Amino acid sequence: MMLRAFSLSLAQLGDRRVRRVIVKAVLMTLLVFTAAAGILAWLLAGSNPCGWGPLDWECSFGTGSGLLAALLLWIAGLWLLFPAVAIGVMGFFADEVVDAVESRHYPGAAARARRQTRAESLAMGLQSAGRLLFWNVLAIPGYILLLVTGIGPFFLFFAVNALALGRDLGEMVAVRRHRGEDLKRWLAANRGRRALLGLVVTWLFLIPFANLLAPVIGAAMATHLFQREGR
């Protein structure tokens, strides 16, 4: 079923409505991510005796341990930050993707769905970004401890983000039909399926260029899974 949902989602990337969301979501994601990366670099530079900037050649890595530390922290921050920004932006546009998929493949369900208001979509996006950042920040000690294993941080990254992304993507679809306690029961009943979905999307986030499409593909896949098995 997961493979079928993935293939159907890829096939619909050429849909005019989906293409429009991709353009908006990618542009907004890059804008927000660039701003956040700049703020993170500026914050890290505050404790760096060598200053910050790609043209600061006077401070070598050998003598500028502050610069090296800041650079490594910045790269690690970006690694954790991008999925949170991307899924947060997707939360704002998710209703458009879900509606496009349901209109094409499940027209009856599309007619009965409750559309999200822009305020609700914004709130969902911010909550999704906040949850993903929270769990990844909480996992930082684990990432550090597992560095000695070489590949350990990647496994932890997959585990943390699969659970978080699966929850958020599932909720983006389910909220059109479930509310309150009903939504909580649905999330609990479909935890395993959502985690597997999150695993696929986390893998996409690690592939250059595919990471830009990962949230849209994830929202489309979540729609197929919800309609075919998870209702």
* Predicted confidence (pLDDT) per residue in 168-200, tens digit: 998 888 888 877 788 888 778 788 888 899 999
The DSSP letter of residue 229 is I
Residue 10, pLDDT score? 92
Helical pair 16-45 and 210-225, crossing angle rounded to 10 deg: 130
57: pLDDT strictly greater than 70: no
Q: How far apart are the first and last CA of the chain?
A: 14
29, 85 in Cβ contact below 8 A?
A: yes
- Length of the chain equals 231
Q: What angle do CA 80, 188, 112 make, to 5 degrees?
A: 100
Domain edges within the chain: 2-33+71-230
Q: What's the mean pLDDT in 210-217?
A: 92
Q: What's the mean pLDDT in 154-162?
A: 90
45: pLDDT confidence band, cut at 50, 70 and 90?
A: low
The more confident residue out of 115 and 89 is 89
64: pLDDT strictly greater than 60: no
Place of tokens 């502050």: 66
| Contacts of 82 by beta carbon, 8 Å cutoff, 6+ apart | 33, 205, 211
The more confident residue out of 61 and 68 is 68
39: pLDDT strictly greater than 80: no
Q: What angle do CA 217, 223, 225 make, to 5 degrees?
A: 100
The more confident residue out of 191 and 43 is 191
Q: Which two tokens stand for residue 212?
A: 């830009």
Round the average pLDDT of the chain to a whole number and report it. Answer: 82
